[in-house]
Amino acid sequence: MGFKETVGDLFKRRKKLEEGGGEKAIEKQIAMGKLTARQRILELLDEGTFQEYDLFIEHEAKDFGMEKKELPGDGVITGTGKISGKPICIYAQDFTVAGGSLGYMHAKKITKIMDHAIKMRVPLIGINDSGGARVQEGVNSLAGYGEIFFRNTKASGVIPQISVILGPCAGGAVYSPALTDFVFVVDNISKMFITGPQVIKTVLGEEISMEELGGAKIHAEMTGNAHFYAKTEKECFDQIKQLVTFIPWNNSRRPLAFPAKEPRVEFDLEKIVPTDSKQPYDVRNVIKAISDDSEFFEVQELWARNIVIGFARINGESVGYVANQPDVLAGVLDVDSSDKAARFIRFCDAFNIPIITLVDLPGYLPGIDQEHAGVIRHGAKMLYSYSEATVPKITVILRKAYGGGYIAMNSRHLGADFVFAWPNAEIAVMGPEGAANIIFKKEIDESADPEKTRQAKIEEYKTKFANPFVAAGKGYIDAVITPNETRKFLVHAIELSINKDVQTPDRKHGIPPF
Amino acid sequence: MTKEYKELYVNGETYKTKLCKKFEQKPKWEPVNEKKITAFIPGTIREIYAKSGKEVKKGESLLILEAMKMLNKLKAPFDGKIKSVYVKENQIVTKNFLLLEFE
């Protein structure tokens, strides 16, 4: 046979396999409002960059009639490509082929592309759309999951790992996304849970829909399992494309620098932040006011909103922000916000992204539920991750920094490289009212007019302690700056710390409180 | 999340702020009442040995709660008299469901 025939034969073979589960199954997939696995890959990657691997893989199952079944690609598409010119490895489970169920060869294809990504030091994107384990393949299917989890863990902190949930992802399957750095979900399409509504109904008699149990909104808002929430698959792909611009290819590189841009002028810091520290405002406007082009790419926007995390650029360099949000729960630290910030800090540290911390918090959220939910253990995660991080760490104290919250929010004491405070910042053990009531209790109680004395003592405390100058006098703060000087100081800090080098003692790994 | 700003008391100060859904929906804490025996796991009541008015000794079986394919024997935590039994055989119960109460 000449090339003409063999090439013709190759095209025929490819075409057949590229149809996946066939016309009917594809129609069903589209009726569910979903794209096919192949369409998803092509939409996400730069045009013409997808190179498929292992299209001709065949499964080896012999039981329960499986020997007679042909499963194109064994229900998963794998390969490499580029996003915004950045090379990546990718896989997408194909729900049209046996419900995207994970059999032995299906898993082999995934672990092969994972190994490739780890070796080539490029990001890995996994698109999940699968009914779960292929029951006919028994323990081989479980082995497949285990080998994926093992690689997710080995790759953690080496290459960025992104999971996209575009269909069901239930039972053991959820643990691969849970081990990766960023999980994307889409309204009405993503479904994640350990035990589904059917089991819950049988065992507990409780009826709940898939959407209410483990839909996109639930994971974006209640559980914190998802990092990005989108209304459509297209919006989701745009989010991924944007995320990729802020992160490096691997842990030995820095994110690509962009041309520096000034913030858009409509954000005036002195108007955004009320001087009365009990008044709320949206801290995201502060971030926009000091970042390049006023662009902020928020992570976990809907979960634990009392802390804001996300990416932006300063002087063209990618940075990670961690900021208390006075607009929600007064910006307190609690179980969820500590957990959220701690993981983000570790991501930034692993991937050479400087961290900017904006401080304005009254402390930890009081409550029996918080204490019983382990706010001690979870709160400790923040101390750990800040102390452990060796990337440039810059802190700006905007208003309140009280008590344990002051320490936890990347204070000098946890190794901050730069600490700046605005002139109206209050750095103290607690707020003036609470403090006055404790320090001057006797005087207030014994005074002829306790309320008047209380107010006088609150004022006295405010003048004495509720300012940045006590901390500045000790060198805990490097400079007291005006709000409008903030960006200038940040730009300089980023420039200055570009070659920051910290040696840490050898160890196998630390033991963070998780 | 609440649309309007509410008040939140933290360490001696009251702040104007929005409250998120999870915060508003948090369950109210109740002190543990040892006389109330509740389901430690969701499941199905398989057998009931306890009857209201019956005197039981510590360690005596009160009922069997089947959960996750295990038959769990719930035993009396102390000597006492049963006040009431709130469940029937084959009833499905959620976690923390009140099963029976001592006098």
More confident residue, A62 or A352: A352
Give the separation between CA A387 and CA A406, rounded to whole angstroms: 14
Q: Nearest Cβ partner of B18 from A206, A327, A366?
A: A327
Q: Would the pLDDT of A1 be above 80?
A: no
Predicted confidence (pLDDT) per residue in A138-164, tens digit: 999 999 999 999 999 999 999 999 999
Structure tokens at A213: 């149990």
Sequence ranges of the domains in chain A? 3-246, 269-430+466-496, 432-465
* Percent with pLDDT over 70 in chain A: 100
How far is A39 from chain B, CA to nearest CA, in Å? 36
Q: How far is A403 from chain B (nearest CA, A)?
A: 10
> Would you place residue A336 in the very low, low, confident or very high pLDDT band (cuts 50, 70, 90)?
very high
Phi then psi for B56, rounded to 5 degrees? -125, 155
Mutation pick from A194, A199, A202, A203 vs chain B, by most beta carbons of B within 10 Å, is A203
CATH number of A3-246: 3.90.226.10
Output the pLDDT for position A62.
Answer: 84
- Alpha carbons A161 and A182: distance in angstroms, whole number: 7
Residue with tokens 């063209």: A316
* Backbone phi and psi for residue A286, each to the nearest 5 degrees, phi listed first: -65, -45
Q: What is the pLDDT of residue A200?
A: 86
Q: Do β-strands A228-230 and A182-186 pair in parallel, antiparallel, or remain unpaired?
A: parallel
Nearest of A241, A223, A236, A290 to residue A487 by alpha carbon: A290
pLDDT tens figures, A7-46 = 999 999 999 999 999 999 999 999 999 999 999 999 999 9
pLDDT for B40 equals: 92
Residue A204 has pLDDT above 80, yes or no: no
Enumerate the residues of chain B whose CB falls inside 8 A of the CB of residue A366. Answer: 9-11
Helices (H), A19-126: 23-31, 37-44, 104-120
* Model confidence band, residue A205 (pLDDT cutoffs 50, 70, 90): confident
Query: Which residues of A fall within a CB distance of 8 Å from B67?
Result: 203
Query: Is A332–B10 a contact, with Cβ atoms under 8 angstroms apart?
Result: yes
Residue B69 burial by Cβ neighbours in a 10 Å radius (0-12, 13-18, 19+): exposed
Give yes or no for a contact between A143 and A106, defined as CB atoms under 8 angstroms apart. Answer: no
**pTM of the predicted model as reported, rounded to 2 decimal places:** 0.94
State the smallest CA–CA distance between residue B64 and chain A in angstroms: 15
- Per CB-CB distance under 8 Å, the chain A contacts of B12 are 430-431, 433-435, 437
- In this prediction, residue A297 has a pLDDT band, given cuts at 50, 70 and 90, of very high
* Residue A279 with chain B: CB contacts under 8 Å: 16
Domain A269-430+466-496 has CATH 3.40.50.1820: no
B29-102 fold: OB fold (Dihydrolipoamide Acetyltransferase, E2P) (2.40.50)
Rounded to the nearest integer, the mean pLDDT of chain A is 95
Both tokens of A91, joined, read 């896989």
**Between these two residues, A432 and A266, which has the higher pLDDT value?**
A432
Q: Number of residue pairs across A and B with CB atoms under 8 Å?
A: 81
Alpha helices in A302-425 (DSSP H): 335-350, 368-372, 375-388, 403-408
Tracing tokens 């309007």 back to the chain, one arrives at B4
Q: How confident is the model at residue A318 (pLDDT cuts 50, 70, 90)?
A: very high
Range A91-118 average pLDDT: 96
Residues of A in contact with B21 (CB under 8 A): 221-222
Residues A9 and A1: their CA atoms lie apart, in Å, by 10
Tell me: the pLDDT tens digits for A413-453?
999 999 999 999 999 988 888 888 889 999 998 989 989 99
Tokens of A229: 């929430």
| Model confidence pLDDT, tens digit, residues A464-498 | 888 999 999 999 999 999 999 999 999 999 999 99
What is the per-residue pLDDT for A247? 98
Whole-angstrom CA distances from A55 to A14, A43, A129, A285, A460 are 8, 19, 18, 48, 75
